[in-house]
């Protein structure tokens, strides 16, 4: 008996979701998304026919991504075949895991990247080439969304947002939080909607087969925008990625807009306020202004 990719993916999703490892819904969704990228690259080749060379070809095509993203893709593929291999319905097929010997980076260094200044943010927005790029960049920089959160926003979520321009999203750890579209975001998104390709139900769509944005592609686009501007040095361009847009948002809120730390924590969806505090840069000028602005206590 042969199985379609849809059937195999449903088996995988069900077994992975209900496994003893107790993975979060967000992890399941991330792995499913990663697998969809591989299948799109292979023109929807049947999962059971995928070879190690197929996976190596795909990994070669995304070699510009960060080491952690690269490793995450490989882990997703390994998990897919490991889960299917023990599924009762297809156990007799003796499925091999073509990703088991695909190398990953042994040591991933999480070096802190300097957040974008307001000038750098403005330059990137200025040199976007179309309404979609501009809207995505403004939303990332103003709302501080994780890239998977941005990709997951549905068109209807935006259209039917509440009177305060808020929508609910599911973030890291399967936690729900409310995010807010300010006037600048709304203006950019509304301009984009005039030319939006209706390829799927997401707010921001791609021109690919399934219409879903690829996070790696977005990261490359940010680098291309920077190159187009002729403003950024090569070593700075290599630092640019989706996540830096998110951290730059919080840095701007804390250090330029003086938004309270606890508000930014809630906005970001951070469990610990210590995570948020990383983006607060206290310099002498800010300290001096705070001291000078204190009320007198003398009678």
Higher pLDDT, 25 or 54: 54
CA distance 28 to 12: 10
Q: Tell the residue number behind the tokens 């291309």, with chain if given.
A: 224
Give the tens place of pLDDT for each residue, 102-152. Answer: 999 887 666 678 889 999 999 999 999 999 999 999 999 999 898 889 999
- Long-range contacts: 57-64, Cβ < 8 Å, 24+? 59/102, 62/216, 64/216, 64/220
Query: Domains of the chain (ranges plus CATH)?
Result: 5-93 (1.10.150), 118-283 (1.10.443.10)
3-state secondary structure 48-115: HHCCHHHHHHHHHHCCCCCHHHHHHHHHHHHHHHHHHHCCCCCHHHCCCCCCCCCCCCCCCCCCCCCC
Separation of first and last alpha carbons in the chain:
89
The DSSP 8-state label assigned to residue 153 in this structure reads -
Cα–Cα distance, 49 to 92 (Å, whole number): 16
pLDDT at 25 (0 to 100): 74
E strands, 129-245, where? 166-170, 176-180
Q: Which tens digit of pLDDT belongs to each residue from 248-289? A: 988 888 777 778 888 888 877 888 888 888 777 665 566 666
Backbone φ, ψ for residue 65 (5° rounding): -70, 170
**pLDDT (tens digit per residue) in 72-111:** 999 999 999 999 999 888 888 888 999 999 999 887 666 6
Number of Cβ within 10 Å of residue 125's Cβ equals 16
Task: Report the SS3 class of residue 255.
Answer: helix
Write out the two tokens for 190. Answer: 């509304």
76: number of Cβ within 10 Å: 20
Close Cβ partners of 245 (under 8 Å, ≥ 6 residues apart): 116, 137, 140, 141, 144, 222
pLDDT value of residue 287? 62
Pick the closest to residue 55 from 28, 76, 86 (CA basis): 76
């Amino acid at each position: 008996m042969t199985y379609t990719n849809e059937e195999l993916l449903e088996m995988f999703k069900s077994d992975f979701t209900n496994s003893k490892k107790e993975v979060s819904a967000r992890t399941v969704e991330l792995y499913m998304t990663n697998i969809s990228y591989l299948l799109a690259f292979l023109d929807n080749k049947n999962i059971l026919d995928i070879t190690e060379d197929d996976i190596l070809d795909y990994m070669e095509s995304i070699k510009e991504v960060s080491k952690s993203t690269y490793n995450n893709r490989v882990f997703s593929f390994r998990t897919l075949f490991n889960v299917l291999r023990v599924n009762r319905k297809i156990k007799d097929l003796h499925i091999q895991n073509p990703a088991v010997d695909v190398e990953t980076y042994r040591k991933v260094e999480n070096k802190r990247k300097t957040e974008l200044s307001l000038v750098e943010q403005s330059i990137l927005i200025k040199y976007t080439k179309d309404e979609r790029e501009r809207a995505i960049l403004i939303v990332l920089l103003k709302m501080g969304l994780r890239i998977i959160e941005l990709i997951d926003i549905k068109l209807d979520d935006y259209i039917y947002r509440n009177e305060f321009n808020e929508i609910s999203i599911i973030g890291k750890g399967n936690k729900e939080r409310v995010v807010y579209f300010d006037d600048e975001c709304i203006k950019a998104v509304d301009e984009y909607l005039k030319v939006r390709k209706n390829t799927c139900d997401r707010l921001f769509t791609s021109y690919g087969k399934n219409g879903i944005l690829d996070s790696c592609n977005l990261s490359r686009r940010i680098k291309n925008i920077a190159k187009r501007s002729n403003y950024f040095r090569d070593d700075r361009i290599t630092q640019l990625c989706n996540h830096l847009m998110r951290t730059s948002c919080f840095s701007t809120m804390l250090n330029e807009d003086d938004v309270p730390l606890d508000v930014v924590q809630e906005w970001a969806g951070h469990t610990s306020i210590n995570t948020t505090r990383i983006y607060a840069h206290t310099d002498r000028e800010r300290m001096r202004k705070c001291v000078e602005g204190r009320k007198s206590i003398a009678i």
